[in-house]
Amino acid sequence: MAHLLGGIEAGGTKFVCAVGDEKGQVTQRVKFPTTTPEETMKQVFEFFDQYQVEAIGIGSFGPIDIDPQSATYGYITDTPKLAWKNYNFLGAMKNRYQIPFEWTTDVNVAAYGEHKLGAGVGKNNILYVTVGTGIGVGYISHGQLYRGRSHPEGGHILLHREDGDNFAGVCPYHGDCLEGIAAGPAIEKRTGKKGYELAPTDACWQTEAYYLAQACMTYTLTFSPDMIIFGGGVMKQQQLFPMIRTKFLELMNDYVRVADLDHYIVPVRLGDDAGITGSLLAAADVLEK
Amino acid sequence: MAHLLGGIEAGGTKFVCAVGDEKGQVTQRVKFPTTTPEETMKQVFEFFDQYQVEAIGIGSFGPIDIDPQSATYGYITDTPKLAWKNYNFLGAMKNRYQIPFEWTTDVNVAAYGEHKLGAGVGKNNILYVTVGTGIGVGYISHGQLYRGRSHPEGGHILLHREDGDNFAGVCPYHGDCLEGIAAGPAIEKRTGKKGYELAPTDACWQTEAYYLAQACMTYTLTFSPDMIIFGGGVMKQQQLFPMIRTKFLELMNDYVRVADLDHYIVPVRLGDDAGITGSLLAAADVLEK
Ligand SMILES: Nc1ncnc2c1ncn2[C@@H]1O[C@H](COP(=O)(O)OP(=O)(O)O)[C@@H](O)[C@H]1O
Ligand SMILES: Nc1ncnc2c1ncn2[C@@H]1O[C@H](COP(=O)(O)OP(=O)(O)O)[C@@H](O)[C@H]1O
Ligand SMILES: [Zn+2]
Ligand SMILES: [Zn+2]
User: pLDDT tens, A157-184?
Assistant: 999 999 999 999 999 999 999 999 999 9
The three-class DSSP label of residue B62 is coil
Q: What is the pLDDT of residue A212?
A: 99
pLDDT, mean of residues B119-144 = 98
The residues, any chain, with a CB within 8 Å of residue B271's CB and separated by 6 or more, are B231
Q: Ligand 2 centroid vs B184 CA: distance in angstroms?
A: 6
Say which of A157, A217, A221 has its CB closest to residue B221: A157
What phi-psi label fits residue B237: left (phi over 0), alpha (psi between -120 and 50 degrees) or beta? beta
Closest CA to A31 of A59, A4, A51, A11: A11
- B251/A158 Cβ within 8 A: yes
Say which of A151, A159, A174 has its CB closest to residue B255: A174
Say which of A154, A221, A226 has its CB closest to residue B154: A221
Confidence of residue B81 (pLDDT cuts 50, 70, 90): confident
Whether residue B256 contacts residue A153, with contact meaning beta carbons closer than 8 Å, is answered with: yes
pLDDT(B129) > 90: yes
How much is the ipTM here?
Answer: 0.97
Whether residue B130 contacts residue B107, with contact meaning beta carbons closer than 8 Å, is answered with: yes
SS3 content of chain A, % helix, strand, coil (to 5): 40, 20, 40
Share the mean pLDDT of chain B.
97
pLDDT in tens, B133-191: 999 999 999 999 999 999 999 999 999 999 999 999 999 999 999 999 999 999 999 99
Amino acid at A10: A
pLDDT(B119) > 90: yes
pLDDT in tens, B257-288: 888 999 999 999 999 999 999 999 999 999 98
Q: What are phi and psi of B248, to 5 degrees?
A: -60, -45
Closest CA to A215 of B216, B138, B177, B157: B157
Virtual CA dihedral for A192, A198, A203, A209, nearest 10 degrees?
Answer: 100
Name the residue of chain A whose CA is nearest to B264's CA. A149
Name the residue of chain B whose CA is nearest to A77's CA. B256
Whether residue B64 contacts residue B76, with contact meaning beta carbons closer than 8 Å, is answered with: yes
Query: What domains lie within chain A, and their CATH numbers?
Result: 5-105+278-288 (3.30.420.40), 119-268 (3.30.420.40)
Cα–Cα distance between B42 and B230 in angstroms, integer? 32
% of chain B exceeding 90 in pLDDT: 94
pLDDT in tens, B58-68: 999 989 999 99
Q: What is the DSSP string of A212-278?
A: HHHHHHHHHHHT--SEEEEESGGGG-TTHHHHHHHHHHHHHTTSS--S-GGGTEEE-SSGGGHHHHH
Which residues are within 5 Å of ligand 4 (an ion), measured at CB? Answer: B 156, 171, 173-174, 177, 179
Q: What is the pLDDT of residue A165?
A: 96
The H or E element containing residue B42 is helix B37-48
**Which of B140, B256, B258 is the best mutation test for A, with the most CBs of A within 10 A?**
B256
Weakest mean pLDDT among A174-183, B78-87, B242-251 = B78-87
Minimum-distance ligand to the CA of B63? 4
Q: Is B185 in the pocket of ligand 2 (CB under 6 A)?
A: yes
pLDDT(B52) > 80: yes
- B224/A153 Cβ within 8 A: yes
pLDDT(B1) > 70: no
| Residue stretches of chain A with pLDDT short of 70 | 1
Whether residue A193 contacts residue B193, with contact meaning beta carbons closer than 8 Å, is answered with: no
Whether residue B56 contacts residue B99, with contact meaning beta carbons closer than 8 Å, is answered with: yes
Q: What is the pLDDT of residue A259?
A: 81
Chain B residues closer than 8 Å to A152 by CB: 221-224
